[in-house]
Structure 1
Amino acid sequence: MSRRAIYLNDHLMTATVAVELAGRAHGAMSDGPAGPWLAAAQRELTAERDLLLDAMGRLGVRPDRVKQAAGWLGEKAGRLKLNGGLRHRSPVSDIVELEGLLLLSEHNLAALRTLRDLTAHEPALHGLELDAVIERAAARRETLEEQRVAAAARALSTP
């Protein structure tokens, strides 16, 4: 497998994790202040994953189904983490999930920027509208940080 294929498939794996985690977080927090925003974030993350798949196709890189499955399973396994509530969801879970999304968003944003840089040498990538996607991803990352701070304040303000 080429370095390019490894790089793109690694980012496809984390993009898959981001979509799954955003869906999980939205399902758990849909009634709270982050609910509507998380629904939009999941749609944007899905579009970014689709864009990555498009770029991979244009570059002749096949998706590694094993890595995608590993990412999907890893996100599911991450749900088993105990956060102080056995029968009910703990507010700490909100923080942990938002922090995970923050890390994944930063990773995805780096991949989008790398793809944009690669377009200078790869005509196949022209027309992907990466600047607009990067701008949305950066704005989402800022909003995600605001949501994380608010969730931490709600969950940790009392012992």
Structure 2
Amino acid sequence: MPTIAALVPGRRRGTPDADPVLRAYLNEQLAAATGLAEQLRRAAALDVLAGERTTLLRVRREVAADRAALRTAMRRLGASTDWAVVGVGWLSAHAGRVAPLLHRLPVLDRVAGVLPTAHPARAAVVEALLALEDVLGGLHRRAVAARLLGELVAVQELRGDWTSGVRGLADRARRQQEEVEAAHRRCAAPLVTPG
């Protein structure tokens, strides 16, 4: 009867199961990448970010490709996917849809002294800035984790086509972070410009 390792596609026969701590860490990163893709989709859908939509959707496609590279690395390292952890990441990203609604509650508006009816465009800018900051947090986390994964591959002297994709994750995340930061600066201009 074939072993589990032999049945997992892309996993070399005889590859030992990953350290449970490494497996848990990689699954957390996979869940974070899943949530990041949802955050990017949500940010790209905001009307005030229409000028940034192409960039945000391209970064989302790249994050999806990088997520696939992470899943390949996990298989090669013997770390199975914990779908419960990934599902919680997906759900938490969808729960983020509630945050903009909270910003519109009349009680919070009175406490903060904000009248959204008087400045709807500026209120939309705030919503977009918060969405972009969520994305930036996810991109920063991904860059740090990708650097660690690249070091893991290098230290273990792993070889194969899949390792080049892993080694490039940190550079791609850093570049994506710079692009989204530039979008954030452009979006913030109405708040910092008197008027």
What TM-score, normalized by structure 2, do the two folds share?
A: 0.72
Match of 1:51 in 2: 69
Match of 2:154 among 120, 129, 146: 120
Q: Which runs of 5 or more structure 1 residues have no equivalent in the other structure?
A: none
State the structure with more CA Rg: 2
After TM superposition, the runs of 4+ consecutive aligned structure 1 residues lying more than 6 A away are none
Superposed counterparts of 1:13-28, under 5 Å? 13-28=31-46
Q: Which is further off, 120-129 or 30-39?
A: 120-129
The residue aligned with 2:140 is 106
CA RMSD of the aligned region, Å? 2.6
- Counterpart check, 1:148 vs 2:184: yes
Larger RCO, structures 1/2 (Cα 8 Å, 6+ apart): 1
1:13 Cα shift?
1.0
Q: How many residues align?
A: 159
| Aligned-partner SS, 2:95 | helix
Question: 1:64-91: CA deviations, max 9, x gaps?
Answer: 11111111111111111123369x9832
Partner of 1:133: 169
Per the alignment, do residues 93 and 120 of structure 1 end up closer, same or farther by CA in structure 2, a change over 3 Å counting? same
For residues 123 and 30 of structure 1, what CA distance do their matches in structure 2 show? 46
Residue 71 (structure 1) aligned with residue 89 (structure 2): yes
Change (3 A) 1:120 1:132: closer
Q: Which ranges in structure 2 are unaligned for 5 or more consecutive residues? A: 1-18, 105-115
CA distance in structure 1 between the aligned counterparts of 2:193 and 2:129, rounded to whole angstroms: 13
Residue deviations 1:91-143 (CA, integer Å, cap 9, x gap): 22211111011010011111111111011233446432234333222111111
2:88 is equivalent to residue 41 of structure 1: no
Q: Is 1:60 paired with 2:78?
A: yes
Of 113-122 and 61-70, deviating more is: 113-122
Seen in structure 2, the aligned counterparts of structure 1 residues 132 and 92 have a Cα distance that, compared at 3 Å, is: same
User: Percent identity of the aligned residues?
Assistant: 27
Q: Which amino acid is the alignment partner of residue 44 of structure 1?
A: E
Relative to the length of structure 1, the TM-score reads 0.87
Aligned positions of 1:3-14 closer than 5 A: 3-14=21-32
Counterpart AA for 2:77: L
